Structure 1
Amino acid sequence: MSVLQSVGATIKQLRAQVAALHAELPRNALVVWTAGNVSARVPGADLLVIKPSGVSYDDIRPENMVVTDLDANLVDGDLSPSSDTSAHAYVYKHLPQVGGVVHTHSTYATAWAARGEPIPCVLTMIADEFGGEIPVGPFALIGDDSIGRGIVATLRAHRSPAVLMRNHGVFTIGPNARAAVKAAVMCEDVARTVHIARQLGAPLPIRQSDVDALYDRYQNAYGQA
C-alpha cells in the first residue's frame, strides 16, 4: 500500500476542511479575487493539502484541493498547486509543530508589511493571540522556498503565529488549519485598530509582565476545557 493510500481517508477529510476554511478568507475581507490560500499538514505523511492556483473562491470544492509533498511536488489532484506551495511546504518541513498555514494580503496588515514595520503589542488582544508584537519577515520573491525560509527564520524567534512578510503580505501558522485562519483574521483586526489608534496619537505600550500574563491565560485557560 502506498503512503497516499494509507492516509486516503485523512486526505479526504482534510480536503473538505481546507475547502471550507477558504470561505472564511473572503468572509472576513482578507483576500480579493483569487489571492490567498489555506493549507493543512497531512498527519502521518510528509504531505499537505492546499488550494489550487488561480481558482476563484466561489469555485473551491473539496475535490479540487490538491496534495503535494514537502518539496511542493504535486502528488494528487488535477490542478496546479498554489504559487505559494513552496513557502507552505518549507514551513511544514522545518516547523514540525505546525499543522496549518494561511497566506493573505489583507489590507491593514499588508500596509504594515509595506512599511516593514511590526505591529506593536498595544492591545490585550495582541498579547492574547500573538504574545507580543507581530514581527516583520524579510523581502523574498515568490517561486521557490525563499518566502518559507523567511517565515521560519522570523517565527522561530517569536511567540507570534503571524508574520508580516515585507512588501508582500501576511502568513500565519497554527497547530491546525483552523487555528491559522483564526490568527489571520485576528492579525487583520488588530492591524486596523492599531492603525486607527496611531491617527489619534501614540498608542500606549503594555508592560512585558502583563503581556506574558495575558498570553498565558489566553493560551492555557481561556475557553472550554
Structure 2
Amino acid sequence: MMQLESLPDHLRRAVAETRERVAALHAELPRWGLVVWTAGNISERVPGADLFVIKPSGVSYDDLRPEQMVVCTLDGAKIDDGTPRSLRPSSDTAAHAYVYRHMPAVGGVVHTHSTYATAFAARGQQIPCILTMVADEFGGPIPVGPLAIIGDDSIGQGIVDTLTGHRSRAVLMAQHGPFTIGADGRDAVKAAVMCEEVARAVSIAQQQGPVPPLPQAMIDKLWYRYQNVYGQHDVDEQPGVHGQPGEAAG
C-alpha cells in the first residue's frame, strides 16, 4: 500500500490542500439542497500526482473534516495516510477513479441525488435545452447515461462513454442520479448546482405543456459566449473540460 509519508514534501502539501478544499466543498451540497443525510460525494484530483481525494463513506456532512477526507490512487485504492482504517472511501470511489483515468482534463467529480435531476434520471429522460441557461452551462441537452451497478467502475464507464465528446458537464445516470465533472472540485459543484436548477425550471415549465427546444445555432452561440466571453474569461482561453467552440451538442 502506498504511504503518504513516502511522497515528496510538495506532494504532501498538495494532498493537504486538496483535503481542505474537498472538505469545505462538501458544505455546498446541503447548502444548495442537493443531498440528504449522507448521500452524495465530491472528489478532486491532487495537482501533480496520480491521486485524488474523496469523501469517506457514510459520514455526516456536519462531521466532515479535512483529515477525514480519503486519499486514493487513480485505481481507487486508499493510500496509507494515517487516517483511521474505519474511514473507508465513498462507495462511488471506483466510478470517480475511472473518470480520472480516462478523462485527463477532469479535475473534479460530484455525485448527488438532487430531486428534480434525479426525477429525470428515474424516467431515463434527458433534460432538454429549452432554456438559455441550459445552453450556457451545458451546451445542449443534459444526457442520460446507462443503468449501472454501484460499487465497481460500471458507473464510471457510463459517465465516460456518455460525456466523451459531449459539451455537457453533467450526466443523468439512469434510475440513479446526476454526476458532474469540472476542471476542479468547485467547478464540478457549480455544474451540480446548475444541473438541479435547470432540471427544476424545465420540469415546472413542462407541467404547462410542451416547450420547443432552442434552435441549434442559438445554442452554439450562447454556449460559446458563456464559456469564453462571459465573466472574467480571457476570450482566447481554451475551454478545457467544457469542450471546443463549434462542437456539436449531443
Same fold flag (TM > 0.5): yes
Structure 2 counterpart SS, 1:167? coil
Change in 2 beyond 3 A, CA 1:25/1:200:
same
Q: Which amino acid aligns with 2:232?
A: Q
Q: Which residue of 2 aligns with 1:88?
A: 96
**RMSD, aligned α-carbons:** 1.1
CA-to-aligned-CA distance 1:131-156 (integer Å, 9 cap, x gap):
00000000000111000000000000
Are 1:43 and 2:47 counterparts?
yes
Q: Which residue of 1 aligns with 2:118?
A: 110
> Contact 1:102 / 1:171 at 8 angstroms: preserved in 2?
yes
* In structure 1, C-alpha distance between the alignment counterparts of 2:230 and 2:92, rounded to whole Å: 33
Are 1:18 and 2:22 counterparts?
yes
Structure 1 counterpart SS, 2:94? helix
Q: Which residue of 1 aligns with 2:36?
A: 32
Unpaired runs of at least 5, structure 2: 234-250
Higher mean C-alpha deviation, range 74-83 or range 126-135 = 74-83
TM-superposed deviation, 1:2: 3.2
Q: Which residue of 2 aligns with 1:55?
A: 59
Equivalent residue runs for 1:1-225 within 5 Å: 2-3=6-7, 5-75=9-79, 76=81, 77-78=83-84, 79-225=87-233
Change in 2 beyond 3 A, CA 1:4/1:147:
farther
> Contact 1:3 / 1:45 at 8 angstroms: preserved in 2?
no
* In structure 1, C-alpha distance between the alignment counterparts of 2:8 and 2:202, rounded to whole Å: 45
Q: Which amino acid aligns with 2:69?
A: M
* In structure 1, C-alpha distance between the alignment counterparts of 2:47 and 2:23, rounded to whole Å: 17
State, as a whole percentage, how many aligned pairs show the same letter. 68
* In structure 1, C-alpha distance between the alignment counterparts of 2:203 and 2:228, rounded to whole Å: 29
TM-superposed deviation, 1:3: 3.5
Q: Which amino acid aligns with 1:38?
A: I
Structure 2 counterpart SS, 1:43? coil
TM-superposed deviation, 1:46: 1.0
Q: Which amino acid aligns with 1:126?
A: V
Q: Which amino acid aligns with 1:120?
A: P
* In structure 1, C-alpha distance between the alignment counterparts of 2:144 and 2:226, rounded to whole Å: 23
TM-superposed deviation, 1:6: 4.5
CA-to-aligned-CA distance 1:27-62 (integer Å, 9 cap, x gap):
000000000000000121111000000000000111
TM-score by length of 2: 0.88
TM-score by length of 1: 0.97
* Count of matched residue pairs: 225
CA-to-aligned-CA distance 1:142-182 (integer Å, 9 cap, x gap):
11100000000000031100000001011000001000000
Structure 1 counterpart SS, 2:207? helix
* In structure 2, C-alpha distance between the alignment counterparts of 1:4 and 1:114, rounded to whole Å: 45
TM-superposed deviation, 1:4: 6.4
